[in-house]
Structure 1
């Protein structure tokens, strides 16, 4: 008689000593319920499937969010590496004082570089293939040197030969499309030519290719030609005038702070716009896509959490006799409920941690994985002509990763509540009636 009552006393003492928390007894029972046993193979298989589902769901969510963040960051870096953060346009008269205006704007604190440019659309032809539409950008030699995204990524030719001022710099994809190499002539054709008695004739001029760069963004590598500012002014009939003045600042996100300072330093009528206005539709689309992907992949984690519900319900049925014995030994409904909640959250926790590790490792090695998949498939799975960038980018965000982990753990907890409540409501008499 004494031996029979001793376990009940231990259960009560352990439970009472851990009021409001998970006791050692509850943790022990939850662990024993989770351990696979041969006669409970079905429960073990469903539990393992739940664990794998949570792992893959969390990993997929982390990977996709990191890729979306990396995609946005890389595009922003490429776009802002070529285009200014703020742009000055003329209002009442042309920017014929661009040298003096640039000097005044340079004195604004936080302004890193001021670049007068002349640009226009043209048609370019080379040694092979049909012509392609290009954007000709005329910049000063010192400004071209400071454009690290271009001057720092010259693949063929040299910066010194370009700075001689008698040639142009083109992207690698343009060179491939037109069959051009360093020293070859590229023919640039503009519809805005000379006016004659017979009409306007296109302007055609050939320039030697002095440098070939690769920014890593296919759109720019295929369609942009850099030309000395003076030569571009002659080609587009804008001698002594700049079409725009682009300004690069230390903090691109603080353009609203710089705008009034630049307008004051300019000391002339002008219109100042920023990179957000120029690319608003593009980056808004990226943000919408990113939020949509987070919502869609959260459903994957939710479905994986529903597997936890199924595995716990099966566990409750398999352990009905054991639960009844625990109740007769003095375990309360709250204690039984905590045991099954702990079992469900345990599966979710292990799956979440495994998914976190898998997702982080995948993101850190994503470029090696891309090259391996390319090697196995024999083709480029990330076509830069469609996705702009030549490699898959991934940028982990600590707060987003933490939110994914928190989401997974919360869903695991919610999934465990219903089966745990059913286990706590189990009637010991009914469960042991036929034992």
Structure 2
């Protein structure tokens, strides 16, 4: 037999022939199908889960950082910032900064229609509310026009709980009051509700009230100063470099905190969960690759006489090894490609699939009351998809090495002794 070049048509023909099941080899073929399905499911599930986790993180970041800001600037001494307008103007000139909001924050009690609860007051100007798209996009223009000296903006869930609507009154009681001979008297004032906003996260919609900056300064005894400035940037994932540039602009005496400092616990937990899920789901691909090992090893044992005859006809060990490498990798590549297609198509149509399943089952498969989101987001990262495909192909290749090596090391004399 004349020696053939590596990966010649003969080797491909022989490898693909081994993949086609005969009646006597049906069990081996079943193992191969299980391996292919396992790899496809592992790759598809890994792509889907990683995309959904990325979507959740992106959506939650958009909602949380959309109202809390990407960078917070405070006085290092803990005292309020009096020249906040001049400071905001300097920060706004930093590359990457999109908006700077002087803000007063504090906690207060509210009372309306016989219902009392605690809330967080955020004092900002009307122009800053308009720039806060996470809030302003849910407000009608009339509500923004009405937002002024004696009016406030109330979260929709808080309004629902207290029976409020635009134009109704709400009493706000502050812990910082006026000092009298009889002690400190809590400050209380009745405001009119200018409008109801919806952020999309129940924890915010039921606890936040926006108040004009001048009113909040008076209410919390800040005078003509603010405790902090909230800075919005182009990309929240690149805040470290922007924060360093802000520190150079503002100089000493001012502390600059990023969202990684203020929200690190929450987003670190999301990241850990995402990494653990990826590790667990990768085990599916590993198990499927082990099935390739067992199926291919059984195929080698079954085809020992054929291998021996090929060797006696002049086939090299390299040719035999390549035949079984092609056989095993055909399963791995096919499973990976099918899983890739399923994963990508599922992610592209994940919300439509959820809606169909909801109609078929009659149950809400994704409760926005629990997850704060009204849809199921999926955001595929091309690099993560590429890594998933590469890992699946690498595991498939490694799974074929030992059976292929065993086939190449087979002694023709021993294989044909009892034939």
TM-score (normalizing by structure 2)? 0.90
Tell me by how many angstroms 1:109 deviates: 4.1
2:63 is aligned to 78
Q: Which whole-Å CA distance do the structure 1 matches of 2:327 and 2:109 have between them?
A: 68
Cα deviation, 1:233-288, whole Å, max 9, x if unaligned, reads: 23223232212111223344444444455345446732222222112222222222
Unaligned runs of 5+ residues in structure 2 are: none
Tell me by how many angstroms 1:232 deviates: 1.8
Cα deviation, 1:114-162, whole Å, max 9, x if unaligned, reads: 211111122345558x6443221110010110111211233x6744344
Q: Which whole-Å CA distance do the structure 1 matches of 2:101 and 2:214 have between them?
A: 13
Does residue 303 of structure 1 match 2:281? no
1:32 is aligned to 17
SS for the counterpart of 1:395 is: coil
Pick which of 231-240 and 307-316 moved more: 231-240
2:226 is aligned to 242
Pick which of 311-320 and 47-56 moved more: 311-320
1:6 is aligned to none
Does residue 118 of structure 1 match 2:121? no
The structure 2 residue matched to 1:87, chosen from 38, 49, 72, is: 72
Tell me by how many angstroms 1:375 deviates: 3.5
Q: Which whole-Å CA distance do the structure 2 matches of 1:158 and 1:374 have between them?
A: 37
Q: Is the 8 A contact 2:176 2:219 kept in 1?
A: no
Q: 1:28 to 1:220 in 2, by over 3 A?
A: same
Q: Is the 8 A contact 1:218 1:390 kept in 2?
A: no
Q: Which whole-Å CA distance do the structure 2 matches of 1:419 and 1:116 have between them?
A: 68
Q: Is the 8 A contact 1:157 1:182 kept in 2?
A: no
Unaligned runs of 5+ residues in structure 1 are: 1-8
The structure 2 residue matched to 1:213, chosen from 160, 182, 197, is: 197
Does residue 181 of structure 1 match 2:181? no
CA RMSD of superposed structures (Å): 2.6
> For this pair of structures, how many residues does the alignment match?
418
Does residue 373 of structure 1 match 2:357? yes
2:246 is aligned to 262
Tell me by how many angstroms 1:201 deviates: 4.3
Q: Which whole-Å CA distance do the structure 2 matches of 1:416 and 1:252 have between them?
A: 44
Pick which of 240-249 and 400-409 moved more: 240-249
SS for the counterpart of 1:367 is: helix
2:125 is aligned to 140
Q: Which whole-Å CA distance do the structure 2 matches of 1:336 and 1:98 have between them?
A: 77
Q: Is the 8 A contact 1:157 1:211 kept in 2?
A: no
Q: Is the 8 A contact 1:139 1:226 kept in 2?
A: yes
Tell me by how many angstroms 1:36 deviates: 2.6
Does residue 341 of structure 1 match 2:325? yes
Tell me by how many angstroms 1:181 deviates: 3.0
SS for the counterpart of 2:223 is: coil
Tell me by how many angstroms 1:226 deviates: 1.3
Does residue 103 of structure 1 match 2:89? yes
Pick which of 66-75 and 367-376 moved more: 367-376
Q: 1:158 to 1:35 in 2, by over 3 A?
A: farther
Q: Is the 8 A contact 2:11 2:323 kept in 1?
A: yes
Cα deviation, 1:383-404, whole Å, max 9, x if unaligned, reads: 3444343332211111111111
Tell me by how many angstroms 1:42 deviates: 1.1
1:61 is aligned to 46
Q: 1:193 to 1:391 in 2, by over 3 A?
A: farther
Q: Is the 8 A contact 1:157 1:210 kept in 2?
A: no
Pick which of 282-291 and 296-305 moved more: 282-291
1:364 is aligned to 348
Cα deviation, 1:41-100, whole Å, max 9, x if unaligned, reads: 212211111111001101111111112222222222222221222222124543222233
Pick which of 258-267 and 171-180 moved more: 258-267
Tell me by how many angstroms 1:22 deviates: 1.2
Pick which of 197-206 and 333-342 moved more: 197-206
Q: Is the 8 A contact 2:340 2:389 kept in 1?
A: yes
Q: Which whole-Å CA distance do the structure 2 matches of 1:371 and 1:63 have between them?
A: 17
The structure 2 residue matched to 1:190, chosen from 166, 174, 188, is: 174
Q: 1:40 to 1:102 in 2, by over 3 A?
A: same
Q: Which whole-Å CA distance do the structure 1 matches of 2:25 and 2:298 have between them?
A: 10
Q: Is the 8 A contact 2:80 2:228 kept in 1?
A: no
Q: Which whole-Å CA distance do the structure 2 matches of 1:158 and 1:339 have between them?
A: 74
Q: Is the 8 A contact 1:66 1:395 kept in 2?
A: yes
